[in-house]
Structure 1
Amino acid sequence: MTDENKKTQVGIIIVSHADYGSAMLRTAEFILGPQSDCSSISVDVAHEVSETVRRLTDAAQRLDKGAGVIILTDMFGGTPTNLALSLLTTHKVEVVTGVNLPMLLKVFSTREKPLEELAQLAGEAGAKGIVVAGNMLRNKARAKNDG
């Protein structure tokens, strides 16, 4: 990747309860290799809310190379999401909730897209990654038997 491409790629922050985000980041890097301009921030009782907001703000400033930052959180309505939403008015960020591995892999592989488009792609990939596998296989077997 050229230096010019790096300047236009979106920064990535995963904000989650406990160590969920850091484990997802390690897993994505296991699959894709080392990634730049990304970070995970855990929300837990060991850190004051103000300290977590400061770390989140610092990460957003550090990771925004001009294209903005996508913040992926574990669930809508949770503290990680609420803290991330506080940056919407002060930083160039998009917040997408319900982070899962398909979503994170999509974000890493398409982070040169504009921030708003990347957020949309992240949401779509996350939703598509949720499959009730048993039902899907039974439906395929039924269709095969009926056809």
Structure 2
Amino acid sequence: MIGIQVITHGKFAEGIIDSVDMIIGNTEQVAHNELKRGQDIDEFREEVKETTEQIMSEDGVLIFVDMFGASPYNSALINSRDIEGDNYKVITGVNLPLLIEAISNRASMDLDKLYKHILDSAEHAVMGWEKE
């Protein structure tokens, strides 16, 4: 099964995983890392790498980060150098609908297909409504 890792600033990752668990149940092989205020970036990057190694399977790992170009994203990107093959993908802009979609479909899709599916689903994960 594809591992899912959520990497964010603050306690966002723990909260969103708790919400997923409340909605769809058991979230096995799902892990998170949270950058704490004032935390050393090299220490954080090592924590992220250890977590990735714990949930990595032959099916790969799909990593969700909160923001493009920020420390969680950069840590995942730098750590990708230590991963052989193409079984490591990163998606920025994690939100509850996309995370549920990934966890719900990871057993029925390979990593490449799941990655593309999540990117295609992103346009439906954020919607607007305004009163006329």
User: Is 1:98–2:93 an aligned residue pair?
Assistant: yes
Choose between structure 1 and 2 for higher RCO, CA contacts under 8 A separated by at least 6 residues.
2
Deviation per CA, 1:63-102, whole angstroms, max 9, x where unpaired?
A: 0121111110011111111111112232231000011111
Deviation per CA, 1:98-128, whole angstroms, max 9, x where unpaired?
A: 1111110010011121112211112222331
The SS at the match of 1:15 is: strand
Runs (5+) with no aligned partner, structure 1 = 1-8, 139-147
Which residue of 2 is the match for residue 5 of structure 1?
Answer: none
Number of residues of Structure 1 aligned to a counterpart in Structure 2: 128
Which residue of 2 is the match for residue 47 of structure 1?
Answer: 39
User: Is 1:125–2:117 an aligned residue pair?
Assistant: no
Deviation per CA, 1:2-32, whole angstroms, max 9, x where unpaired?
A: xxxxxxx100100011011111000000001
Runs (5+) with no aligned partner, structure 2 = none
For 1:52, the aligned partner's letter is F
TM-score, length of structure 1 as denominator length = 0.81
Pick the aligned partner of 2:6 from 14, 17, 24: 14
For 2:92, the aligned partner's letter is T
Q: Distance in 2 between matches of 1:118 and 1:88?
A: 18
Percent of paired sites with the same residue: 23
RMSD: 1.5
Structure 1 residue 46 displacement after superposition = 4.1
Pick the aligned partner of 1:25 from 5, 13, 17: 17
Bigger radius of gyration among the two: 1
